[in-house]
Homo-oligomer: A and B are copies of this chain.
Amino acid sequence: MESETTETIIRATGRSLCEYGYADLTMQRIAEASSVTTAAIHYHFDTKEELLDAFLDDLIDRFERQVDCEAADPRDRLAGFLDAVFDSEPDDEFPIALMELKAQAPFHNTYRERFRELDAALRGVVQDAVEAGIEAGHFDAVDTAEVARTVSTMINGSHVRMVALGEDPDETRRVVEDYLEAQLGWSPEGAA
């Protein structure tokens, strides 16, 4: 659906958000970060909110493709999911930019809707993998929706801890792995 121009604009939005932060993000700066004129940006996106909404939509699409790895074995799917989620360094710019948008969500319903979509996607991947793992006899029987909800809350916590405390994502990953091991009787640590 996206044209090459809108894709260029969306990429430049991400870079500019990381560089200037939410408050100082302007159409002018996005134009400077891309080969697209402000007039062309305005042609595709009426407002900064609309532009950031498209940015979040694109982000969620890519994230879903990344975390929903197609491994047949549910254990590999769960391990691949954790690899994708915890694949950042402390003080990476991207998680910081995302946290700023989360803080803006109460004032922009479009952002909130996107974050809800993202949360549902995350929980869906975990729940499906856990269900498949139980069916295949790899995991203990658990309330799969509850496990997915807890993992998603821990991942949200990890994101804040990385941004606010500068904590290494590997530390929180261990907390999630310990939880999964206690619940499922299986450890994603050292999984393929």
Across-interface contacts of A149 in B (CB, < 8 A):
175
Task: Say yes or no for A119: interface residue by CB 8 A criterion.
Answer: yes
Across-interface contacts of A178 in B (CB, < 8 A):
146, 150
Across-interface contacts of A115 in B (CB, < 8 A):
164-165
Flag if A102 contacts B105 (CB, 8 Å).
no
Q: Number of A interface residues, CB 8 Å?
A: 38
Across-interface contacts of A150 in B (CB, < 8 A):
154, 175, 178-179
Known: A91-B106, A153-B157. 8 other contacts (CB 8 A): A22-B23, A100-B103, A102-B103, A105-B164, A119-B165, A150-B175, A153-B172, A153-B175
* A interface with B by C-beta (< 8 Å): 22-24, 91, 96, 99-100, 102-103, 105-106, 111-112, 115-116, 119, 146, 149-150, 152-161, 163-166, 172, 175, 178-179, 182
